[in-house]
């Protein structure tokens, strides 16, 4: 009888892994860029900021001879420096040129698209409301393209206090890794406050962020617990925790890897959802699934909501090699 009860308990338990999850095309490209730079130029290769916001990726590259710096002043003249997937302001390119550095720009093409829009609107004299998180590297890079034309708002309530040069010449741009739902709310407020908004049909939240949020919503509705694998500075990973909770998960937690799971979170839990942010290697997700198996859960099943086929070629500095 005891064995039968155990079988029933195990049957009630379920682990569902969301798809898509993990690496997006921009992160994949940035990671391969550093790998290729190390092969082509040899260690050390300098990387401005974290190449992608994942502690494990950064530590692995450090072991292979990459040196991560916050400021180009830390890079010796003539050295090779890679710019991260989040993009940089034009002043950073100028600084690198002035220091005689060889640069490889791993900015995600979808971030570059936002930079180009910022330049276009600024040249037209249009004020830009940038929806994003203060201090995030992507926001700093985009703002650097048109600092006199861009005003940052972080949440819907911030819109009410906006005072711009000409309320009839206003548009918006967004960070690529925001919550789809909250951003829609912020844009609606901007449209109400500035009805003559220079129109844009959509936000700039990238396909990978949207797909990962849709996939986690799909598995969260009947989950007792959703575990999101991702680092604390990964905007899209942090958003996945919020989205999972809003979609109905009884609990949602972010971990860098399986070692951060507190077994107390599993008490009384039958249905676990697992996903990962766009900068997270799949091995870390598999580590979480193994941890759950070791704690009485069955092997995970994957629920694929959307197939992704997006691919970006390497930066031209490496393509030419």
Q: How far are the Cα atoms of 25, 27, 45, 208, 211 from residue 309, in angstroms, in the given order?
A: 9, 14, 30, 11, 12
43-63 in b/e burial notation, b at 16+ Cβ within 10 A? ebbbbbbbbbbbbbbbeebee
53 contacts 67 by C-beta, under 8 angstroms: no
Least distance to ligand SF4 from the beta carbon of 269, Å?
29
How far is Cα 303 from Cα 293, in angstroms, rounded to an integer? 18
Which residue, 20 or 273, is less far from ligand SF4 as judged by CB? 20
How far is Cα 251 from Cα 244, in angstroms, rounded to an integer? 8
For residue 172, list its beta bridge partners.
129
115 contacts 140 by C-beta, under 8 angstroms: no
134 contacts 93 by C-beta, under 8 angstroms: no
H or E, element range at 85: none
The residue ranges that bind ligand SF4 (CB under 6 A) are 24-27, 85, 108, 110-111, 176-177, 206, 208-209, 236, 278
Least distance to ligand SF4 from the beta carbon of 267, Å?
34
Q: Whose structure tokens read 């338990």?
A: 13
Closest CA to 45 of 21, 69, 73, 71: 69
Least distance to ligand SF4 from the beta carbon of 195, Å?
30
Least distance to ligand SF4 from the beta carbon of 111, Å?
5
Which residue, 111 or 247, is less far from ligand SF4 as judged by CB? 111
Least distance to ligand SF4 from the beta carbon of 148, Å?
25
89 contacts 114 by C-beta, under 8 angstroms: no
Q: Specify whether 137 is catalytic.
A: no
Least distance to ligand SF4 from the beta carbon of 312, Å?
8
The conformation of residue 161, written as its DSSP 8-state character, comes to G
Which residue, 85 or 292, is less far from ligand SF4 as judged by CB? 85
Looking only at the bridges linking them, the beta strands covering 80-83 and 45-48 are parallel
Catalytic residue among 117, 138, 145, 317, which?
A: 138
Which residue, 111 or 241, is less far from ligand SF4 as judged by CB? 111
Return the residue nearest ligand SF4 (CB atom).
26
Which residue, 44 or 109, is less far from ligand SF4 as judged by CB? 109
90 contacts 145 by C-beta, under 8 angstroms: yes
* Residues that are catalytic: 138
């Amino acid at each position: 009888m005891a064995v039968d009860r155990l079988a029933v308990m195990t049957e009630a338990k379920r682990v569902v892994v969301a798809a898509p999850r993990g690496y997006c095309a921009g992160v994949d490209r940035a990671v391969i860029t550093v790998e290729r730079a190390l092969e082509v130029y040899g260690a050390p290769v300098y990387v401005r900021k974290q190449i992608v916001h994942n502690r494990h990726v950064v530590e692995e590259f450090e072991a292979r001879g990459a040196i991560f710096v916050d400021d180009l002043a830390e890079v010796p003249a003539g050295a090779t420096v890679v710019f991260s997937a989040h993009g940089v302001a034009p002043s950073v390119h100028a600084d690198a040129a002035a220091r005689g550095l060889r640069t490889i720009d791993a900015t995600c093409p979808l971030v570059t698209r936002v930079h180009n829009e910022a330049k276009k609107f600024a040249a037209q004299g249009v004020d830009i409301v940038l929806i994003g998180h203060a201090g995030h590297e992507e926001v700093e890079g985009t703002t650097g393209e048109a600092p006199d034309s861009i005003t940052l708002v972080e949440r819907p309530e911030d819109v009410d206090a906006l005072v711009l040069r000409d309320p009839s010449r206003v548009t918006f741009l967004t960070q690529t890794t925001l919550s789809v739902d909250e951003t829609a709310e912020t844009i609606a407020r901007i449209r109400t406050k500035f009805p003559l908004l220079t129109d844009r049909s959509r936000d700039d939240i990238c396909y990978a962020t949207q797909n990962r949020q849709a996939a986690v919503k799909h598995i969260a509705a009947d989950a007792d617990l959703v575990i999101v694998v991702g680092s604390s500075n990964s905007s899209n990973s942090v958003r996945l925790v919020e989205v999972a909770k809003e979609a109905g998960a009884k609990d949602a937690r972010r971990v860098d890897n399986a070692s951060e799971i507190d077994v107390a979170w599993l008490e009384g839990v039958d249905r676990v959802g697992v996903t990962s942010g766009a900068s997270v290697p799949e091995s870390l997700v598999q580590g979480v699934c193994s941890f759950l198996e070791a704690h009485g859960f069955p092997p995970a099943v994957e629920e694929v909501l959307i197939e992704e086929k997006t691919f970006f070629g390497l930066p031209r500095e490496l393509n030419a090699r």
